[in-house]
Amino acid sequence: MLEGAGLLPLVESVNFHLWQPCNMRCGFCFARFKDVRAEVLPAGHLTAPEALEVVGLLAEAGFKKITFAGGEPFLCPWLSDLLESAHQSGMTTSVVTNGSLVKETASLTGLLDWLVVSIDSLSSQVLLELGRMTAGRPLSENDYRALCEDVTQAGIQLKINTVVTRANRGEDLSSFIIAAGPRRWKILQMLPIAGQNGGANNALSVTDGEFEDFVRRHEWVSRYGIDIVPENNDAMTGSYAMLDPAGRFFDNVNGSYTYSASILKCGVTAALGQVRLDRSKYLARGGRYNWSNPSVPALALGGTD
């Protein structure tokens, strides 16, 4: 699996958390990276040339899909440059966002294949409890509806992520999800990570049973052609190729983050060898699917990422 050798890395998709700063303060967030900012990267992000180099190295290593995450990626002034670079290299592109800064989705057409909107609740009270707000104001249901409609009209594939926590575990989002019409809906059990969201002591965490109840309540939405992809804590552990804002791979196998050296210093293959990544778990949670062809059902190749 040498860069430039024409061989795929251990998994086909990679998540690059390119931007540590965020304009929200979600209490369940597992990607705060305050440790990275304090110990490695004071600005909380690489420079534009460094970030572009990271994207190039990932493409050369054989990754087929890249998801830009944060923090909040739309705070990054050169996000469009990274999307263009990834697209020119042949990678499918995706961005995970809280939705508060996405204003002109049409301008992303041709650069962005997937927009992943984090929607955890439609209740302003719950969103305030979660910390999913900007300047003390959460997005409204109408805000989320308008954003999802704009994404679809721009010809960008829509995916919705929902993190199940103690605050929203009893909520029913079925009607909204059907109306929004995402191609995929990923339902995630809140993942406690020491050093990020307090780990096992986080009061927002839910039991496996509570998570399963939430999933069962919404399974029928799949009748409307929406791929529902639930991921519990075990499914999320050791099954993702992830880079931190400093360009280092990291894993979550021990309940906290273990970091590699930066791929800018040692390359992709060497850095991947310094973390734990299980291809069998990646496949079991449906990490491989036909993300580049929206006319083919995602389940044809299994699941989502």
Is 301's pLDDT higher than 60? no
The CATH homologous superfamily for domain 13-296 is Aldolase class I (3.20.20.70)
Which are the catalytic amino acids? 22, 26, 29
Average pLDDT value for residue range 98-126: 95
Average pLDDT value for residue range 122-139: 96
| 251 SS3 class | strand
Tell me how far apart the alpha carbons of residues 129 and 201 are, in angstroms, rounded to a whole number.
17
Kindly state the percentage of the chain with pLDDT values over 90: 88
Lowest mean per-residue pLDDT among 25-34, 147-156, 294-303: 294-303
Is 297's pLDDT higher than 60? no
Can you read off the two tokens belonging to residue 123? Answer: 């209740």
| 203 SS3 class | coil
Please list the alpha-helical segments (H only) found in the chain.
34-39, 48-61, 79-88, 124-130, 141-153, 174-180, 208-218, 233-236, 263-266, 268-272, 279-284
Query: Is 151 within 8 Å of 105 (Cβ atoms)?
Result: yes
Beta pairing, strands 227-231 & 242-243: unpaired
Average pLDDT value for residue range 251-262: 96
